[in-house]
C-alpha cells in the first residue's frame, strides 16, 4: 500500500515537473526509436532476403559455384572459373545416389535484347528443363522449354513479365520473335513474377534459355558458372556434399595442397550468409544506438542528481513526516524508471511509425520484431533503475535536519 502511494506520488511529481521529465525522457525516446527502427529494418530486409532465397533455393538444394573463393566474395574473384563442366555433373549423378536431378547454370549480365524497335539490356540465363522444378519457378503464360528442346539447343526463350512488356508492349509475347545480340529466339513462355533477387537484380527482367543453347550458340563455351542439385533426402545433405567435393577434386586433378576450384553451398550456409549480410542492421547499428541509449542514461543520472539537490527540502520534509530511507530510495528509483519506461514506450511507438513510413517508401517488408517490444520495455527500465541508483541513494541518505534548515 505504501509502495503504491509512493508510486502515485512519483507520477504526480513527474507530471508537475514536465520540463524536467521531458529532458530525462528525450534521450531514451530517441535511443529506443532508433534502436527499434534499425532493428525493424534489419529484420525486414532479412525476411525479404530469406523469402527470396526460399523462393529460389529449395531446402533440399545443393549449389555448386565454379571458381576458387567463397560465394560471398564472388565466384570469379580468384582463379579461372572455367573448370566446371556438365560432364562433372553427370559423373556426380552416376556415382552418388540420392540426387534427383540437376540444373547447370550459365549467365551473361548486360546483354542486349531486341524486338522490333524495342531494345533493352538485361541478364540472360541458361538453365536446364529441370530448373522449373529445382528453382521452383514456372511460367504464367505459354510453356516451359522441354528436354528435347534443351538437347537440340533450340532457340526458344522464357522471359520475365516486365521484359515482356518492355519488348512487346501489351500484345501477347508467346510465339513472338526477338533477338539476343544477333541470334533470333522465339518466346516460349512468360515466367512467373519473382521480384528482386538477393543480389538486387530484377528477376522479372530475366531471359531464360536452354543451357545448351546458351553455351553453344550465345557464349560458345564448354563450361558452366554454377549448378543446383536436388537432393532426395535432406538428411544426406552433408554426406553428399563431401562426396561431390571428392569427385570434383579428382576430376579437376587437384593435388592435396591445392584449394577447391569450386564452392559448394547448402541452404544452411545460404541462410548464414544472409544473416551475416544483415549483421550491420541487426547487430552493429543497434549496438551504436545502444551507446546512444547509454548516453541517455547518463543524462538521466545528471538530471536526477540536480533534482535531488533542488528537492532537498522536499526530501527532508518527507523524512520528517515519516519516510524511511528505503521509501525515499524507492521513490527516486521509481521516478527514474517511470521516466525511462515512458520513454521506451514512446520510442517503440515512434519506431513502429518510422518503420511503417520507411516500409511504404522503400518497398520492403514491414516487420515489428518481438525483440523491439522486449528491448523497448526492459532496456529502458534497466537504464532507469541503473541511472536512479546513485541519485536515489544520495537522496535517501540526506540528513533531514540539514535539508530542513531555514
Partner 1 sequence: MMQFKNISKIYHKNGEQEVRALDKVDLLIEKGDFVAIVGASGSGKSTMMNILGMLDRPTSGDYYMDERKVNSYTDDELARIRNRTIGFVFQKFHLLPKTTAVENVELPLIYSDRKNIRGLGLKALEKVGLKDRLNHTPDELSGGQQQRVAIARALVNEPEIIMADEPTGNLDSSATSEILTIFQKLNSEGKTIIIITHEQDIAEKANRVIEIHDGRIIKDYTNKGV
Q: How many residues bind partner 1 (CB under 8 A)?
A: 26
Interaction between residue 199 and partner 1 (CB under 8 A): no
Interaction between residue 91 and partner 1 (CB under 8 A): no
Among 143, 183, 291, 320, which residue sits at the site for partner 1 (rule: CB under 8 A)?
320
In this structure, the strands spanning 156-159 and 226-231 are unpaired
Binding part of the chain for partner 1, among 28-36, 292-300, 371-379, 396-404 by CB under 8 A, reads 396-404
Interaction between residue 322 and partner 1 (CB under 8 A): yes
Binding part of the chain for partner 1, among 41-49, 274-282, 321-329, 369-377 by CB under 8 A, reads 321-329
Tell me if 193 sits within 8 A of 140, measured CB to CB. Answer: yes
Interaction between residue 19 and partner 1 (CB under 8 A): no
Interaction between residue 394 and partner 1 (CB under 8 A): no
- Structure-block grid coordinates of residue 206: 530475366
Interaction between residue 323 and partner 1 (CB under 8 A): yes
CB-count exposure of residue 251 (10 Å: 0-12, 13-18, 19+): middle
Tell me if 124 sits within 8 A of 180, measured CB to CB. Answer: yes
Q: Which is nearer to partner 1, 182 or 406 (CB)?
A: 406
Interaction between residue 68 and partner 1 (CB under 8 A): no
Q: What is the DSSP letter of 79?
A: S
**DSSP states of 310-364:** HTHHHHHHHHHTT--HHHHHHHHHHHHHHHHHHHHHHHHHHHHHHHHHHHHHHT-
Q: Which is nearer to partner 1, 326 or 356 (CB)?
A: 326
Integer Cα distance of 380 and 27 in angstroms: 10
Q: Which is nearer to partner 1, 255 or 406 (CB)?
A: 406
Among 253, 321, 361, 370, which residue sits at the site for partner 1 (rule: CB under 8 A)?
321
Listed in sequence order, the residues at least 6 apart from 275 whose beta carbon sits closer than 8 Å to its beta carbon are: 46, 282
Interaction between residue 11 and partner 1 (CB under 8 A): no
Min dist CB 16 to partner 1, Å, is: 4
Binding part of the chain for partner 1, among 8-16, 115-123, 146-154, 195-203 by CB under 8 A, reads 8-16
Q: Which is nearer to partner 1, 275 or 327 (CB)?
A: 327
Phi-psi map region of 361: left, alpha, beta (phi>0 left; psi -120 to 50 alpha): alpha
Among 327, 366, 389, 394, which residue sits at the site for partner 1 (rule: CB under 8 A)?
327
Binding part of the chain for partner 1, among 29-37, 187-195, 239-247, 309-317 by CB under 8 A, reads 309-317
Among 176, 313, 365, 371, which residue sits at the site for partner 1 (rule: CB under 8 A)?
313
Tell me if 128 sits within 8 A of 176, measured CB to CB. Answer: no
Min dist CB 403 to partner 1, Å, is: 9
Integer Cα distance of 166 and 363 in angstroms: 22
**DSSP states of 270-286:** HHHHHHHHTHIIIIIHH
Interaction between residue 312 and partner 1 (CB under 8 A): no
Q: How many residues does the chain have?
A: 406
Min dist CB 303 to partner 1, Å, is: 18
Min dist CB 378 to partner 1, Å, is: 28
Nearest C-alpha neighbor of 66 from the set 262, 265, 266, 222: 262
Q: Which is nearer to partner 1, 253 or 321 (CB)?
A: 321
Phi-psi map region of 84: left, alpha, beta (phi>0 left; psi -120 to 50 alpha): beta
Please report, as ranges, the residues that interact with partner 1 according to CB under 8 A: 1-2, 5-6, 9, 12, 16-17, 313-314, 316-327, 400-401, 404, 406
Amino acid at each position: 500500500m505504501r509502495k503504491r502511494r509512493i508510486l502515485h506520488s512519483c507520477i504526480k511529481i513527474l507530471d508537475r515537473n514536465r520540463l524536467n521529465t521531458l529532458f530525462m525522457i528525450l534521450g531514451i525516446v530517441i535511443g529506443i526509436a532508433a534502436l527499434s527502427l534499425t532493428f525493424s529494418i534489419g529484420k525486414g530486409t532479412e525476411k525479404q532476403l530469406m523469402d527470396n532465397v526460399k523462393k529460389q533455393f529449395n531446402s533440399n538444394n545443393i549449389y555448386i559455384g565454379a571458381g576458387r573463393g567463397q560465394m560471398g566474395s564472388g565466384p570469379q574473384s580468384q582463379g579461372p572459373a572455367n573448370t566446371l563442366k556438365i560432364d562433372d555433373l553427370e559423373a556426380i549423378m552416376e556415382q552418388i545416389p540420392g540426387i534427383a536431378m540437376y540444373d547447370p547454370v550459365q549467365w551473361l549480365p548486360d546483354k542486349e535484347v531486341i524486338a522490333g524497335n524495342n531494345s533493352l539490356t538485361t541478364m540472360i540465363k541458361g538453365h536446364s528443363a529441370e530448373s522449373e522444378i529445382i528453382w521452383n519457378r514456372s511460367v504464367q503464360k505459354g510453356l516451359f522449354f522441354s528436354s528435347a528442346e534443351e538437347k537440340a539447343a533450340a532457340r526458344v526463350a522464357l522471359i520475365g513479365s516486365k521484359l515482356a512488356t518492355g519488348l512487346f508492349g501489351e500484345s501477347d509475347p508467346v510465339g513472338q520473335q526477338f533477338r539476343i545480340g544477333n541470334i533470333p529466339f522465339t518466346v516460349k513462355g512468360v515466367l512467373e513474377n519473382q521480384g528482386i533477387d538477393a543480389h538486387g537484380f530484377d528477376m522479372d527482367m530475366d531471359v531464360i534459355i536452354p543451357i545448351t543453347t546458351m553455351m553453344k550458340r550465345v557464349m560458345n563455351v564448354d563450361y558452366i558458372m554454377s549448378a543446383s542439385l536436388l537432393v532426395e533426402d535432406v538428411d544426406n545433405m552433408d554426406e553428399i556434399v563431401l562426396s561431390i567435393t571428392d569427385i570434383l577434386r579428382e576430376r579437376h586433378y587437384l593435388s592435396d595442397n591445392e584449394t577447391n576450384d569450386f564452392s559448394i553451398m547448402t541452404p544452411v550456409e545460404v541462410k548464414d550468409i544472409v544473416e551475416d549480410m544483415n549483421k550491420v542492421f541487426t547487430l552493429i547499428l543497434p549496438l551504436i544506438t545502444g551507446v546512444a541509449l547509454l548516453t541517455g542514461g547518463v543524462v538521466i543520472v545528471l538530471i536526477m542528481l540536480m533534482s535531488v539537490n533542488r528537492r532537498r527540502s522536499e526530501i527532508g520534509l518527507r523524512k520528517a513526516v515519516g519516510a524511511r530511507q528505503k521509501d525515499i530510495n524507492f521513490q527516486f528509483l521509481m521516478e527514474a524508471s517511470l521516466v525511462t519506461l515512458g520513454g521506451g514506450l514512446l520510442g517503440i511507438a515512434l519506431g513502429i511509425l518510422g518503420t511503417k513510413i520507411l516500409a511504404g517508401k522503400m518497398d520492403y517488408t514491414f516487420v515489428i520484431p518481438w525483440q523491439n517490444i522486449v528491448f523497448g520495455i526492459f532496456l529502458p527500465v534497466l537504464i532507469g533503475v541503473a541511472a536512479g541508483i546513485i541519485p536515489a541513494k544520495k537522496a535517501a541518505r540526506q540528513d533531514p535536519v540539514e535539508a530542513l534548515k531555514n
